[in-house]
Amino acid sequence: MELLLLVCVFSLGVAAPADGPNSTYDTIVIGLGSAGTTAATELAQSGRKVLALEAHDRVGGRVHTVPFGDGLVELGAEWIHGNVSSRTYALAVKHNIDTKLQPLSTDPYRSDGTKPDVALVTELLNLDFTEEHPDPPEAVGTFVTKKFMEYITKNKPDLLKDQDFITEFLEFSNLQTNTMEASNDWNDVTTGDLYEQLGGPQTISWHRHGYKTFFDIMLNKYNNGSGLPNLDIKLNTEVTRIITPQHPNETVTVECKDGSSYTAKHAIVTVSLGVLKATHTTFFSPPLPVEKRTAIEKISIGVVGKVILSFDKPWWPKDITLFAFIWKGDDKKKVSADDYWTTRILGAHPPMGSNNTLTLWTSGEVAKQVEKLPEDIVKTKCVALLQRFMGDALKITMPAPTGFLRSTWYSNPYTRGSYTYDNLQAPRYPLARKWLSYPLLDSAGEPRVLFAGEATNERHFSTVHGASETGRREAERLLSANDPGRGRKL
């Protein structure tokens, strides 16, 4: 994970052009998402003079907390995924922030306004085949369908008589996978993925604090902190080219769309893989080495979309994580081609930061489409969807929403997607993320342009904590280069 603005405008100092009196920086960080903010603050706190350039008019990247309804909602990252060895969770604990667990619970509804067998759906949703990794790897959809059919054949043979339900449930499972992976179809995702989940609950919410608090803490702005004197931030500053020096005595030059340019000994690039895919041929001079270009081409970045509606007051059942929308086959056939996207919405989720809002989730190509549709059409169709699935079952008439938001992560030129996943090519290119993380060196073999971001994390990609890990990794790469006693944490 569009966009009202929040997160804070930081008065941490404005950098001068490269020929100005205050233009001596040790490191320039491009992008102030989780990776860039981590790298910039780690370096600044270690005494380095850092300039951070951010194309948006806010800090946060694909984390975007927005005031909405009676509180806050997240247009991007929603939860802290795990509390074991998680930097995001550890910082919250360190600052006595009362994060809250949103318990995993699903309340299913069918497209004809009826309730399915809730106990059966819950049992089937709790099946987890992800610990199995077939050799050779195969498409997730093919594998899960096979294992699912084996399970019901052995444990629920009577269910085999209801092929319509099996089809409906597997299609919902497809949407659920896509919402987690940011994929368009679960057969685009490999069972040979290298993702590792952190221990502990996966749906820990910043609730009324908002995920923006993670950035406030890092930037020393939480609780009216004074900021970091060694860190200069320029928002609304789009970088267009990075010139990597070959000679050890030369500096990195960073050129911007507004005509400004800045120099430093090092630069850390933290833009999304989507931006790299769109711009890398002109973004870097000289061109990137072949391994890095291959990684940019082969790794996939997908889209998770949100439509967020506020209401005068909550009308939905309490203590549910997801109101799941399961389409009956006959009902789906009656939906027009123009409205096909409505059949690809997973369901509605009540966020913890606002009591009177619902978030509708979609993914893949449909998420891209929803970003472009007229607002009134999206709003009207989503309300009708809620009426169809929940209103009739709960015997209520859907009230008119009081507010509307939606994400635009794909159409946003500074993100061009939500996060990465391991596609079917990933097992053939197991080192792709490592290649993407390699720094560009000068003729003496010293790192001059470095790379961070969730796409460069081999095990924790697609997460805020994974992105933060890579920012710390690259900061440590630079700090340990001048201080061997720190150890080279590469």
For the question of whether the overall pTM of this predicted structure is more than 0.85, the answer is yes
* Residue 97 pLDDT: 96
- Tell me the β-bridge partners of 52: 29, 233
Give how far the C-alpha of residue 236 lies from the chain's centroid of Cα atoms, to the nearest Å. 21
Please report the pLDDT score of residue 2 as a whole number.
Answer: 35
* % of the chain exceeding 70 in pLDDT: 93
3-state DSSP assignment of residue 41: helix
Closest CA to 254 of 441, 80, 449: 449
> What pLDDT shows up at residue 133?
83
3-class DSSP state for residue 161? Answer: helix
Going along the chain from its start, the domains and CATH numbers come out as 25-61+208-300+422-486 (3.50.50.60), 105-197+304-406 (3.90.660.10)
DSSP single-letter state for residue 358: E
Question: How high is the pLDDT of residue 3?
Answer: 34
Per DSSP, the three-state class of 489 is coil
Which pLDDT score, from 0 to 100, does residue 286 have? 97
From the list 73, 65, 75, the residue with the least C-alpha distance to 6 is: 65
Interatomic CA distance for residues 101 and 112, integer angstroms: 32
Residue 176 is predicted with a pLDDT of 96
Beta partners for residue 106, in sequence order:
322
Region 81-107 average pLDDT: 96
* 366-390 pLDDT per residue, tens: 999 999 999 999 999 999 999 999 9
| 21: confidence class by pLDDT, cuts 50, 70, 90 | very low
Q: Are the C-beta atoms of residues 368 and 29 closer than 8 Å to each other? A: no
- 288-331 per-position pLDDT tens digit: 999 999 999 999 999 999 999 999 999 999 999 999 999 999 99
pLDDT of residue 430: 97
Q: For the chain, give the mean pLDDT.
A: 93
- Report the range of poorest mean pLDDT among 128-137, 222-231, 445-454: 128-137
CA 215 – CA 64 distance, rounded (Å): 11
CA distance 144 to 173: 9
CA atoms within 13 A on the CB side of 185: 6
Q: Is the dihedral of CA 55, 59, 61, 65 positive or negative?
A: negative
Q: Which two tokens stand for residue 87?
A: 């930097």
Whose tokens are 């090519």? That residue is 425
Which run of H or of E encompasses 188? none
Higher pLDDT, 1 or 284: 284
Average pLDDT for residues 271-276, to the nearest whole number?
Answer: 98
As a whole number of angstroms, the distance between CA 239 and CA 276 comes to 12
Residue that is written with structure tokens 């006959």 in the block: 330
Report d(CA 92, CA 158) in Å as an integer.
49
pLDDT of the residue at 131: 77
DSSP letter for each residue of 77-129: ---B--SSS-HHHHHHHHTT---EE----EEEEETTS----HHHHHHHHT---
CA–CA distance, 43 with 38 (Å, rounded to integer): 9
Residue 198's closest CA among 91, 86, 102, 90? 86
Query: Is 384:334 a contact under the CB 8 Å cutoff?
Result: no
